[in-house]
Structure 1
Amino acid sequence: MDLPELPDGWRVWNEEPEGRIILVFRPDVFTEDVVPAACLPTIYVTNGSRRRRPGAGQYRTDEWHVVLFLEPEIEAVAETYDERGEALEAAGDVAERFAVGEIDYREQYQRPRERYFQELDRLIGE
């Protein structure tokens, strides 16, 4: 199964045949000039281990994970699927939900990043 058509703003950053896919939102905007590059919204589709140990992701599992990161340590969505095709469909759905403002990115932060939120509001409102 192929990745569904992505909503405006989302791009395939990396794709491994039958493996991990990385999607990014508006990489043209997330530079140090506007918003820190580390804040680039990123969706990972992987069957790598989700353990929080260095190198754990290189170990394959029987499950596929769809994770939307707002920053390296800030997960807005984390879902698990049995098949890669299901995970690809889910990744398209997460990208769509993000693009139309259905994912509340503010809720994930203990300390607000107001400039970042303003930029996301602007981009999603386009």
Structure 2
Amino acid sequence: MKLHKTSKTMFLKIIFISFMLAMISCVSTQNLPENIETNSPEEIEAKKIAAAEKMAAGYIPGRIIYSDLEGDCEYTIQLNDGVRGFYYVDPINLSDKFHTHGQTVWVKYGGLGRMNRCEKAAPVSIIEIENRDE
């Protein structure tokens, strides 16, 4: 059976969403201190559904990473697509409100055909970005 290009794309999106849901569901609460509140099963399920909806809409979960090392990009976004593992993008138009190391985000971006500003990250243009509660 030969798949059309759109069928392949949809199949890859389904695989990606399934992988991300599996990662989200693997969070362990066994070693949490007793004074930290945990989410109810309903809240956890609601977060899983919201994450699946974001991924279905084309967003990728990421984390803002700051670096002050010479030759490194100042702010990158760490992503994990489930295929390549962790990788970094260099957002050329990242708003100042997302200049917080460790901040988690939902992001849509487009690649750019230009030279890298640093070795570890490919330059991208942010299409949409939102805070992500983790």
TM-score range for the pair, normalised by the shorter chain length: under 0.3
After TM superposition, the score normalised by the length of structure 2 is: 0.22
Compute the TM-score of the two structures, normalised by the length of structure 1.
Answer: 0.23
